Structure 1
Amino acid sequence: MVELNMIVGRVSYNCDIIFRVTDILEEDGEKIAILYGEDYRLIADAPLADLLPMDKSDRLKRSTTVRSLEDQSLELFRQDLDLLMHKQEFKATQGYRQDFGYFQLPGRILHLDGDRSYLEKCLRLYDEIGVTVYGIHCNEKEMHYQIGDLLDYYRPDVLVITGHDAYSKTKGKKFDLNAYRHSKFFVETVREARKKVHSLDQLVIFAGACQSHFESLIHAGANFASSPQRVNIHALDPVYIVAKICFTPFMERINVWDVLRNTLTGEKGIGGIETRGVLRTGMPYKPVIDE
């Protein structure tokens, strides 16, 4: 018996993705479950008869594989971050010839997420990486109404607009924005954000989720977006993208591939345009000492 919040797989897809049941509806006399991916930012629906509850052993086996990929991506990101920090230290000290004390101001992130559990996972990773982030849980359909006030209040350097999405071929061709679950709302949110901050370098935007309409998001004003090949993206992919931006100096331009290579999805799931970093270095650094 399938119930709300149960972890399930779709038999017709060989249970390739684990989902959480978020709602059960009745359509034409048949019960349909609304499904949110546990590790991928995908929303789907399926008849209850097509769902197979996942027991603890199945979930552990699949989650172990996903966690391994997450750990690999985090380790690669840390290596990149160490390299960036060493380069900045070299420049700030004039090739280690000067004993300057300096400080760094990474960019501030505003992260809007349509999934509360994904938001919490992302916030934990942001904290581990060491960036300042303001996390807001907001339904995808409501984001474009709220983004203006949120930008005025938090004044971020980087904006993440994400949640769940999906393309349905029964609703139209891949170029048809109406064939996507939430892409049109992401697009509208990006447009509203660009009304507030026009410059692509003053506000860096990542937008999209699984299978999102990449081209529309970029044309609306996003610097990075999903999904060029309409594939699923991992829940944490937006974090790796914007954290890289936060730790890249504002005088340097970011090579798109350098940003994508540490994500779990890669260039099939995420793309973008040439963008400046937002990190700023200052000096002197004088620790406050109580006398």
Structure 2
Amino acid sequence: MMISSGDLVTRKSYQHDIIFRVKTQAASIVKLMGEHIRLEADAPLDDLEKVTGAEFHRRKNKVDEQEAYSYRLFRQDYRLLKEKREAEAGSGYTTGKEANYFQIPPRILHIDGDPLFLKKCIALYEQLGLQVHGQYLNEKEMPDQVLPLIEKVRPEIVVLTGHDAYSKAKGTTRELESYRHSRYFVEAVRNIRQHYPNFDQLVIFAGACQSHFESIIRAGANFASSPARVNIHAIDPVYVAARVAYTSFMDHINIWEVIRNTISGEDGLGGVETKGLLRIGIPYTKDQEET
């Protein structure tokens, strides 16, 4: 069977459970990237089967339904947060006058090891009305490149994600060396925290599919994947960042409410107590609209 870079395939040995994109091939070993989840894998050529157009669209429709459901959940939560902000902003008016406020959401730096996933995430940030700077970086480059990017962008939220995978052949789930890219996420987070130690001034999400959750959290991330070493969906990090971005800095974030908006759920994502980063101001003026 002829396999080329960019082809969509499944693995016979895993009962065709996941659709992958072919990244590279060396001899009879093929490097694969998840098409909808943040998983990287190697597979022998004879274990692969190309995905038909009909099968791809069947699975894509299922993924689209999951994404639409997560989006609806987020929009519901956003409306509740907005109603709370409006009530608080209008509490100083005694004549029933409508609250006239503006909001300043935080800047987001999203660094991704997959350019296609990055593009998809940027589109979702924009759909959610958030200001984001996206940067593609190979996971191995993140520890050295993350601080210069932070100095340039000056974000309040940093998302570090891409592809990862646990390999049983390399060791137990407790050993960081058993993971394809987890150590790079850990090093990048640790480097950030050496310069930005306050968890509530710079919020970090880090990790990908099957990542070593505990090590990433210990390094200083507010949120990370993957507690149960499961695969996480490509856009899950966006919903985590968006929840932080639209929660007032006066409020603590309910971790469960963050996770329930994601496709992966609590097996795929977790975190520590964190404050929101949204600030509101009064009054709203036309000049602000023009700028």
Given that 2:224 and 2:269 are in contact with CA atoms closer than 8 Å, whether structure 1 keeps it comes out as yes
Q: Where does residue 103 of structure 1 map in the other structure?
A: 102
Correspondence for 1:75: 72
- SS of 1:70's partner is helix
| Amino acid of the structure 1 residue aligned with 2:84 | K
Displacement after TM superposition at 1:99 (Å): 3.7
Match of 1:155 in 2: 154
1:60 is matched with which residue?
57
Distance 1:191 1:155 in 2: 18
Secondary structure at the residue paired with 1:44?
strand
Instruction: Tell me, in whole angstroms, the C-alpha distance in 1 between the residues paired with 2:4 and 2:284.
Output: 56
Deviation at 1:14, TM superposition (A): 1.1
The separation in 2 between residues aligned to 1:283 and 1:196, in whole angstroms, is: 33
Deviation string 1:22-66 (CA, Å, 9 cap, x unpaired) is 00012xxxx100000000000001001000000100100010001
Shifted more, 188-197 versus 91-100: the winner is 91-100
1:271 aligns with 2:285: no
Aligned to 2:37: 40
Match of 2:111 in 1: 112
Residues 117-140 of structure 1: CA distance to partner in whole angstroms, max 9, x if unpaired? Answer: 000000000000100000000000
Separation of aligned partners in 2, 1:128 and 1:211: 28
Q: Which runs of 5 or more residues in structure 2 are unaligned?
A: none
User: Aligned residues: percent identity?
Assistant: 52
TM-score by length of 2: 0.96
For the Cα contact (< 8 Å) 2:86–2:99, is it kept in 1? Answer: no
After superposition, what is the alpha-carbon deviation per residue over 1:177-202, rounded to whole angstroms, capped at 9, x for unaligned?
00000000000000111122110000
Structure 2 counterpart SS, 1:175: coil
What secondary structure is seen at the aligned counterpart in 2 of 1:253?
coil
**How far apart, in 1, do the equivalents of 2:200 and 2:43 lie?**
42
CA distance in 2: counterparts of 1:105 and 1:188, whole angstroms:
31
For 1:227, the equivalent position in structure 2 comes to 226
Question: TM (normalized to structure 1)?
Answer: 0.96
Equivalent positions of 1:194-233 (< 5 A) are: 194-233=193-232
- Where structure 1 has 5 or more consecutive residues not aligned to the other structure, the ranges are none
Does 1:281 pair with 2:254? no
Say if 2:84 is the partner of 1:87.
yes
Aligned residues: 286
SS of match in other structure, 1:107: coil
What is the distance in 1 between the residues matched to 2:221 and 2:50? 38
Which amino acid is 2:68 matched to? D
Superposition RMSD in Å: 1.2
Instruction: For residue 249 of structure 1, give the secondary structure of its aligned residue in structure 2.
Output: coil
The residue aligned with 2:22 is 21
Measured after TM superposition, the shift of residue 277 of structure 1 is: 0.2
User: Could you tell me how far apart the structure 1 residues matched to 2:192 and 2:123 are?
Assistant: 25
Contact 2:118–2:136 (Cα < 8 Å) also in 1:
yes
Larger mean CA deviation between 280-289 and 36-45 belongs to 280-289
Query: SS state of the match for residue 29, structure 2?
Result: strand
Paired position in structure 2 for 1:5:
6
Report how far residue 95 of structure 1 moved. Answer: 7.6
In structure 2, distance between residues paired with 1:63 and 1:14:
18
How far did 1:283 drift? 1.2
Q: Distance in 1 between matches of 2:285 and 2:98?
A: 13
Letter in structure 2 aligned against 1:69: Q
Question: What amino acid does structure 2 have at the position aligned with 1:14?
Answer: Q
Cα displacement (A) at 1:4: 1.3
Structure 1 residue runs of 4+, over 6 Å off?
none
Q: In 1, Cα distance between the equivalents of 2:97 and 2:191?
A: 46
SS in 2 for 1:142: helix
Per-residue deviation at 1:107?
1.2
- Partners of 1:196 and 1:63 in 2: CA distance: 41
Letter matched to residue 271 of structure 1: G
| Aligned-partner SS, 1:275 | coil
Shift of 1:98: 3.9
Distance across 2 between alignment mates of 1:9 and 1:136:
29
Secondary structure at 2:83's aligned position in 1?
helix
Report SS of the residue matched to 1:78. Answer: helix
Match of 2:170 in 1: 171
